[in-house]
Amino acid sequence: MPSIPTSTGASGFPLRAILGVFKLRIGVVITLTALTGLAVSPGPGLGPLQLLVLTLSVLVSSASAGAFNQYYEYASDRLMSRTSKRPFATGEIQHGPVWLLIIVALLILSVAAAWLALNAWSALFVFLGAFFYAVVYTVWLKRRTWMNIVLGGLAGSWAVLAGASASDPQLGAVPLFLALVLFLWTPPHFWSLAIAFRADYANAGVPMLPVVVGDEKAAQAIFLGTLCLVAASMLPLAFGLGVIYLIGAALGGLVFIQKAWQLTRRPDRQSAMSCFHASLLQLTLVLLAAIADAQLAF
């Protein structure tokens, strides 16, 4: 059975490469969405141990899905400049069945911990987040349809519900609407990146929207999607969130709308990356404002 190579790095162990396999930066964002779901849930708070389990279970399940994504796509990653330096693609980490065992073990551990320390609903949502990214998006949809990232975007929505149901399985309106926000956020976020790297996706045979319809039409879809996203982000205001959330959601939304509009005027790489970064700012402000507003209100 292939083993993890030990010939790189000053210590003989490719720690940075292994951390890169698990896409921990994405995992941190997904974990923040789960903590936001917990913060806006009307149920009782969690104890310190339960909070730790929720945080680690979402982070580890996300990491397992990220590792599977790179494991499954190592050949096509070599065809894209954005992904060609990933450890499996370069061979820095050997591609072999041992990694599937590690990935499955991490997912089972994270789901089991959520089940034992929290409840079955939270564990189910932890599982669904990883499943939708690893299987629904990566395996089933990514190379078949431009709707890949639309349906695959549910991965982030499940994390919100995992956090909310950890406190109260009877989900309230606010966490449900924030799950909707995550669902609507993913397409304009990722399509912006896909415009910037359209040639990469075309070379790899991935039918991202800009590859299928061109940059101009994709930019128009991004703008319309951003308008829907920002409108949806205002819905929690009708169900308990207040001024702090309004300020964060409005500021982030306005920046994202502005950059998305500029992208329709000039659908090039620079504008696409500017829109991509605006999407990250928008989501960050929405999540942090929701946590701050909910905690001060309760």
Q: Residues 12-46, buried b or exposed e (16+ Cβ, 10 A)?
A: eebeebbebbbbeebbebbbbbbbbbbbbbbbeeb
pLDDT digits (tens, 9 = 90+) for 196-239: 999 999 999 999 999 999 999 999 999 999 999 999 999 999 99
Question: Which residues are CB-neighbours of 30 under 8 A, at least 6 positions away?
Answer: 58, 59, 62, 129, 155, 156, 159
Whether 58 shows a pLDDT value over 60: the answer reads yes
**CA distance linking residue 219 with residue 210, whole number of Å:** 8
Q: Are 167 and 41 in contact (CB under 8 A)?
A: yes
**CA distance linking residue 159 with residue 63, whole number of Å:** 13
| Per-residue model confidence (pLDDT) at position 245 | 97
Confidence of residue 39 (pLDDT cuts 50, 70, 90): very high
Q: Are 150 and 81 in contact (CB under 8 A)?
A: no
Asked whether residue 4 is domain-assigned, the answer is no
Asked whether residue 5 is domain-assigned, the answer is no
Asked whether residue 96 is domain-assigned, the answer is yes
| Per-residue model confidence (pLDDT) at position 9 | 42
Asked whether residue 290 is domain-assigned, the answer is yes
Q: Are 226 and 190 in contact (CB under 8 A)?
A: no
Q: Are 129 and 57 in contact (CB under 8 A)?
A: no
Which amino acid makes up residue 11?
S
Q: How far is CA 212 from the centre of its chain?
A: 23
Asked whether residue 122 is domain-assigned, the answer is yes
Higher per-residue confidence, 81 vs 110: 110
Asked whether residue 168 is domain-assigned, the answer is yes
Listed residue (87, 74, 70, 85) closest to 17, CA to CA = 87
Question: Among all chains, which residue has been given the structure tokens 């998305």?
Answer: 260
- Tell me the residue range of the domain where 80 lies: 15-297
Confidence of residue 5 (pLDDT cuts 50, 70, 90): very low
Asked whether residue 264 is domain-assigned, the answer is yes
Other CB atoms within a 10 A radius of the CB of residue 295 amount to: 12
Q: Domains in the chain: how many in total?
A: 1
Confidence of residue 3 (pLDDT cuts 50, 70, 90): very low
Asked whether residue 9 is domain-assigned, the answer is no
Which amino acid makes up residue 29?
V
